[in-house]
Structure 1
Amino acid sequence: MKLTNPNDVPVYTISGASTARPLPDWLARKRKRSLKNDPEYANRVELLQDFEFEEASSCIRVSDDGEWVMSTGTYKPQIHTHYLPHLSLSFARHTTTLNHSFVLLSSDYSKSLHLQTDRSLEFHTPGGCHYRTRLPRYGRDLVYERHSAEALIPAVGVNAEGSGEVYRMNLEIGRFMKPYQIDVGGDDLTTVGGGALQGGINTGSVNVAAIAEDSHNLLAFGTSIGTVEFWDPRSKSRIGLLSGQEGEVTALDFDRSGLSLATGSSEGLIQIFDLRRPVAILRKDQGYGYPIKTLIHMTTSSQEKKILSADKRIIKLWDEADGKAWTSVEPAVDINSVAWCKQSGMILTANEGKQQHAFFVPQLGPAPKWCSFLDNMVEEMAEEAPVETYDNYKFLTLPELKALSLGHLIGTTNLLRPYMHGYFVASKLYEEARLIANPFIWDDERTKRVKEKVEKERESRIRGSKKVKVNQNLVDKMLKKQERRQKVDEDMGVLGDSRFGKLFEDEEFTVDEKSREFQLLNPSTKVAEIGPTRVANTDSEGSDSEDEDLTISKPKPKPEMRISSSSYKKSGHQRQDKALGSRVQGAGRINKNRGEVVGERQVTFAPSSGRKEKEKPEPARKGRRDEGRRSASGNVFRRM
């Protein structure tokens, strides 16, 4: 399944062609034979068997019980009916002419009414075409008013009085009733909508109809002059008029409550009206300028109200309250009709391609009962789906697009891919547009690179060390490491952290580089010779105080080499190593607690320093035979 993710709302393409031009039959059969051993092709998802037509599909409807899908298409003109629990085609039926639109009269497929392109109405049952009748003029739409059992057919052209007509076919009586007369323009040949000839260029028409079935049952008719008329089917009279639309009204849909009406125009504009106000409360542009073909009020699984709007290029879902884009679907072929499986996230389309499309939006709702396995498949794909990236694209916001003079491409071409608050633009197009907008871009880029190179050389230079009161060697070592990384920043790390301030100010935190512990942890550190040391008292502000400086002179120790061995002891010489003598016990053993190494020979450089001698260890307790031995338990608190 192909996954698209506009605005972080994933959309799965369950079925449908990925290319606009289908392959010839002989080439398609050859390719299928070559893909027989392909594991990915063998594990593909085929939602509905034979969900396609030889050429194209024109209209699609889902039954009220949710178990049947009927669609019409060509060539040759035919009707396909799928039984959804079996995921297969139930039957296919050919017709004499191409179907324009149809409605399902029953809760399943058994009764359907079809508006044909040759001015005829056909009634179909499971056995075939039950009855056929002709219309005075060509019909533009077809709806069924259940309360009075009337089929309403908005038609093109005007009558003898210069008004458009909506034909009423009463299915209970079995004859036409007096039509609704709709104002579609003037009564002459010069004004828009006028003309007695239905084939005239400026002839007006009633394009679309809608019924508020779940509420007040008002009828709404959209005309070619941009008006919407509201009629009461009980009194058979007009009760309201909505004008001011741009272009022709091509789509209408009532909300479930009956208070909200969505209108779509031939200019690609969608408006939402509250019937209690004459002004639109929301205005939305589809983006491509094509006539709106389908409008559907939806409610997601989280009880959020959305509106689906579709033209021949794209299907968009957006928020009804503020018009914020939610997600979108853009097939590779033109769209003719869209159907929604209620209370689910499944969207079916009739399109110009050979295969019909099926899209699944998990955040819109769960999968229908007849394909509940899609929920598990989607969850597995969500865990393993990689993040979609654009390697050869540059992300630009709307102000950046306008600065490059690319704003006219929005909604008119697929060179811009909408994403979040901006668009992805091909890198090649971006570079060309930037060069045209700023011819001196190469000079600016060269100056920028020269500046970066100079800054890099500056950072690599040796800089003066930072002066501190305590642990100057540690500060120099840290600065030298930063120099190797070509980044010197004294305000970062330990030097700039206030928590480590005492490490460089308080003498109690002085690192004794002469201690045995420091030498064991840093064996490669070279200890500087001890000379006169100047210590200056500084106040809290860092300035020198008036106290007298103290100068301490320490004698330089002379290294002395001694060789300790058994022969050296026998010759009567005594050890003069005072620093190590206190650690040697009477038995000649060496204490291993200090890290000494026991061996036959030991060469030691023992410089005598002027520091205070270390405190002597406590004398061992008398009467113990393990004097000077290390405890087997390793308990360091035993000698305390």
Structure 2
Amino acid sequence: MKISNPVDVPVYTVAGSETARQLPEWLIRKRKRSLKQDPDFANRVELLQDFEFEEASSCVRVSEDGNSLMSTGTYKPQIHVHNLPQLSLSFARHTNCLNETFLLLSQDWTKSLHLQADRFLEFHTAGGLHYSTRIPRYGRDLIYDRHSAEALIPAAGVNAEGSGEVFRLNLEVGRFMKGFEVDVGGDDLTTAGAGALQGGIAAGSVNTGSIAEDSHNLCAFGTSLGTVEFWDSRQRSRVGTMSPQDALDGRSEITALTFHRSGLELAVGNANGRIHLYDLRSPVPLLKKDQGYGSPVKNLIYLDSAVSTRAQTSEPKILSADRRTIKIWDARNGSHWTSVEPAVDLNHVEWCKNSGMLLTANEGRQQHAFFIPQLGPAPHWCSFMDNIVEEMSENPDDPSAFGKTPGGEVYDNFRFLTTAQLKSLSLDHLIGQTSLLRPYMHGYFVAQKLYEEARLISNPDLWQEQRQKSIQEKISKERESRIRGNKKVAVKVNRKLAEKMLEREEKAERRRAKRVLERGGDDDMETDKAPAVGAVDEAPKPVKSVLKDPRFARMFEDEEFEIDETSHEFQAVNPSTKFPKGLTVVEQEELESQKGSSGDDSSSESEEERARPSKTALSQDKNRISTSEYKKSGHKSQRGPQMVVSSSNRKPRQSRDQTFGSRVSKLKDRRAPTSANNTVVGERQITFAPAKMQKKPAASVSEGQRHDRKDRRSASGNVFRKM
């Protein structure tokens, strides 16, 4: 955005011909890449999408609800409607002829009345052209009386009686009513009263009109004769006539009229660029204002905002615009407030109510948008403009900028310190004594260079700390670049289960990625394919992870859901947890033998059953050396001679007393045994007789046949020959 008029009140040009250089259409495609380096193009703000016409625009209006914007232009003749909350163009509609002016009849854009250059009035709705009718003579302006639902069209020329006419089209009845006959002078444009020839070249006209719809609903019409006639819409009669005169050039054509909201004040603009402010109760103007360029005044707007801001001034303002400039001045004394001079001629100016935004229809291709923060806040559909303006306030060209320093020097290379931090650096003696400390809120801004020097003086070993810190940062950066191992699961409870599930998911993901690479297709396409009839789906769709499922979140967070690995239920489901993982079969046998020789007679298994390796232990580690392979390799068992159990009688053992006292009492009552093997209480005495291992004798084999070959099958089926 560019700033214009930086003297008193800054004006920001948001959109228009001044924001960026215009390029020929045949150069746009060529210079698209080079425009990235163009500062004018890079710093542009595109407020509304396609807020332009191919040649020029004639009129622009904002709807009463503030959500729509309609504008007309050429060439080709067309109508643009913008959706303001979306900052985009809704649609473009073409017409048969150029548009002079238009009005929005509804709160939004859906109903509009357009005055065409070929004497047609067109009614447009959301669906398109609804109805069109023709008027007898060319229209100059368009006014809508909401109280009587009538469209008033001031026209050029005179009727059969030699008077100018304002056509009345009643929209409720759907037909023309008797118009207002306004005196527009004779053929010489100097004599008053009727007498002009109908269709004459020098015939007068009713140029413009205005209606005080917020108060007494009085209609005012400005004529080419330089007079203003007031008509009462209820009685359809003339109320009075006013003749604004200037000492320099006398009476001139009235080109602009507007009522104040109170209805007691009227602003009149003529073809010589002069504005007269009248009180309806007095024929003498309150003040006179010269636009300065001698061009006809096109627009007069009372800027009465209902929303106030800190930067906004409370004095009433009036906007006056001709084809060269837009001026805003004080309504009380006529003092200049601010002005805008676009690079192209203006056709119409629209003010977004209760804001500081001005939109224009002009002769250039791009329509202009100006934002004045002191006039009002940004509209609700572009509230971000306030933030952009605040950022640009640091520009030295803006009078509201902070200080006189160049832009970007206010906070760059400065550090904010509190009073306690200044005391720790021994800089508190500079407070209020020098400009090196800039007070701001609860602290001070200190130059970064001064801060570094004071920090080194207060802590001489700072460079060593800084060096250690930089070394540690490099080491940590190198560690981050290394390939990490297993991922750590961030859970509070059941970490082993979570790691196991995560490892299973990673394996499934690797298998799926490998399968997709083998097929050479996209993963999404492969998963979306439905399996054929009767075929088995080898790659099921991935299921949502349990770790990420909120239904099982408490399982890994609440301690009440912690798995007890020592419980019987857990060991029944996971039998591998009974024995230590990684033991060989020999070590397992030794562990079993130690348990068996502990003197616990409550075990129901025999010594031979304990000596056998369990199937679970054999299945745990197949890479370990088994007992048979250990013996075949020539190693002897380190367990010593085998112990053979002998018993004279086998009976089921009785249950042993549980308490120590009961066992001691029984030992005292025992008597001497009657025999070597039997006791009084019916127990049996067991002895262990060590015996050496002996080789089995070789079986006797007949001379004619050998049976030592196990891999050879005997031809005879008689098994008694082998004995």
Using a 3 Å threshold, how does the CA distance of structure 1 residues 17 and 360 change in structure 2: closer, same or farther? same
Scaled by the length of structure 2, what TM-score is found? 0.52
- Once the two structures are superposed, the pairs formed by residues 169-188 of structure 1 within 5 Å of their partners are 169-186=169-186
In structure 2, what is the equivalent of residue 600 of structure 1? none
Equivalent residue letter for 1:26: W
Structure 1 counterpart of 2:26: 26
What are the Cα deviations for residues 355-384 of structure 1, in whole angstroms up to 9, with x where unaligned? 000000000000000000000110110123
CA separation in 2, counterparts of 1:32 and 1:63? 36
Q: Where do 5+ consecutive residues of structure 1 fail to align?
A: 389-640
CA distance in 1: counterparts of 2:237 and 2:190, whole angstroms: 29
Shift of 1:201: 3.4
The reply to whether residue 319 of structure 1 matches residue 330 of structure 2 is yes
Verify: 1:15 aligned to 2:15, yes or no.
yes
Specify the alignment match of 1:234 in structure 2.
234
Map Cα deviations across residues 399-418 of structure 1 (whole Å, 9 max, x no partner).
Answer: xxxxxxxxxxxxxxxxxxxx
> Counterpart of 2:182 in structure 1: which amino acid?
I
* Pairing 1:268–2:273 present: yes
Distance 1:187 1:75, change over 3 A: closer
Question: Aligned-pair distance for 1:287?
Answer: 0.1
What is the 5 A alignment of 1:336-375? 336-375=347-386
1:134 deviation in Å? 0.3
**Amino acid of the structure 2 residue aligned with 1:61:** R
Q: 1:333 aligns with which of 330, 344, 350?
A: 344
Shift of the 232–97 alpha-carbon distance from structure 1 to 2, 3 Å rule, reads same
8 A contact 1:193–1:203 mirrored in 2: no
Residue 142 of structure 1: how far off its partner (Å): 0.2
Q: Residues 289 and 236 from structure 1, CA distance in 2 versus in 1: closer, same or farther, beyond 3 angstroms?
A: same
Q: Do 2:187 and 2:202's aligned partners in 1 also have CA atoms closer than 8 Å?
A: no
Aligned partner of residue 266 in structure 2, secondary structure: strand
Q: Structure 1 residues 195, 239: CA separation in 2 closer, same or farther (over 3 Å shift)?
A: closer
Asked if the contact 1:71–1:81 (Cα under 8 Å) also holds between the matched residues in 2, the reply is yes
Q: What corresponds to 2:321 in structure 1? A: 310
Equivalent position SS for 1:378:
helix
Question: What amino acid is aligned across from residue 296 of structure 1 in structure 2?
Answer: I
Residue 37 of structure 1: how far off its partner (Å):
4.5
Offset from partner CA, 1:502-540 (integer Å, 9 cap, x none):
xxxxxxxxxxxxxxxxxxxxxxxxxxxxxxxxxxxxxxx
- Structure 1 residues 38 and 23 mapped into 2: Cα distance closer, same or farther (>3 Å)? closer
Any idea what the Cα deviations from partners look like across 1:44-69, whole Å, max 9, x if unmatched?
Answer: 31100000000000001111111111
2:138 maps to which residue? 138
The residue aligned with 1:87 is 87
Residues 166-315 of structure 1: pairs in structure 2 closer than 5 A: 166-186=166-186, 200-245=200-245, 246-299=251-304, 301=308, 302-315=313-326
Decide which structure has the larger Cα Rg and report it: 2
1:76 and 2:76 equivalent? yes
Rounded to whole Å, the distance in 2 between the matches of 1:59 and 1:43 is 28
Distance 1:64 1:338 in 2: 16
- The percent identity for this pair of structures is 71
Partner of 1:526: none
Change (3 A) 1:135 1:193: farther
**Greater CA drift, 178-187 or 83-92:** 178-187
User: In the superposition, relative to structure 1, how do residues 222 and 189 fare at CA in structure 2: closer, same or farther (>3 Å)?
Assistant: closer
**Cα distance in 2, alignment partners of residues 325 and 56 from structure 1:** 30
Contact 1:340 1:347 in 2 (8 A): yes
Q: How large is the Cα RMSD of the aligned pairs?
A: 2.1
- 1:383 is aligned to 2:409: no
User: CA separation in 1, counterparts of 2:19 and 2:156?
Assistant: 35
1:501-512 correspondence runs (5 A): none
Pairwise CA distance, 1:19: 9.1
What CA distance in whole angstroms lies between the structure 2 residues aligned with 1:360 and 1:209? 28
Q: Which one-letter code corresponds to 2:110 in the other structure?
A: S
1:280 counterpart SS class: coil
Which residue identity is paired with 1:275? L
Q: How many angstroms apart in 1 are the aligned matches of 2:55 and 2:29? A: 17
How far is the alpha carbon of 1:200 from its aligned partner? 3.3
State the structure with bigger RCO (CA 8 A, min sep 6), 1 or 2. Answer: 1
* Equivalent position SS for 2:337: strand
Q: d(CA) in 1 for partners of 2:7 and 2:67?
A: 32
3-state DSSP class of the match of 2:52? coil
Deviations 1:216-242 (A, max 9, x none): 110000000100000110111111111
What is the letter of the counterpart of residue 179 of structure 1? G
Q: Aligned equivalents of 2:188 and 2:380: distance in 1?
A: 56
1:5·1:11 contact (CA, 8 Å) conserved in 2?
yes
* Counterparts in 2 of 1:387 and 1:371: CA distance versus 1, 3 Å: closer
Distance 2:300 2:338 in 1: 15
Give the corresponding residue for 1:559. none
Q: Distance in 2 between matches of 1:137 and 1:229?
A: 20
Q: Is the 8 A contact 1:273 1:279 kept in 2?
A: yes
Change (3 A) 1:248 1:30: farther
Q: TM-score, normalised by structure 1?
A: 0.58
Report the AA paired with residue 230 of structure 1: F
Unaligned ranges ≥5, structure 2: 246-250, 400-723
SS in 1 for 2:179: strand
What is the distance in 2 between the residues matched to 1:218 and 1:10?
Answer: 37
Q: Which moved more, 1:68-77 or 1:379-388?
A: 379-388
Distance 1:268 1:79, change over 3 A: same
Q: Secondary structure at the match of 1:27?
A: helix
Higher strand share: 1
Question: What is the count of residue pairs matched by the alignment?
Answer: 388
Residues 227, 22 of structure 1: alpha-carbon distance in 2 compared, 3 angstrom cutoff? farther
Is this contact kept in 2: 1:6–1:328, CA < 8 A?
no
Secondary structure of the 1:26 match is helix
Q: 1:35 to 1:260 in 2, by over 3 A?
A: same
Question: Following the alignment from structure 1 to structure 2, what is the Cα–Cα distance between the partners of residues 331 and 33?
Answer: 29
Paired letter, 1:334: D
Cα pair 1:101 1:141 within 8 Å, conserved:
yes
Structure 1: distance between partners of 2:189 and 2:258: 32
Q: Which amino acid aligns with 2:270?
A: S
Q: Secondary structure at the match of 1:262?
A: strand
Relative distance call for 1:188 and 1:7 in structure 2 (3 A) is closer
CA distance in 2, matches of 1:106, 1:385: 45
The structural deviation recorded for 1:304 is 1.8
Question: Do the aligned residues in 1 keep the contact of 2:20 with 2:41 (CA within 8 Å)?
Answer: no
Q: Assess if the C-alpha contact under 8 Å between 1:192 and 1:202 holds in 2.
A: no
Separation in 1, partners of 2:12, 2:50: 20
Secondary structure of the residue aligned to 1:86 is coil
Distance 2:131 2:17 in 1: 36
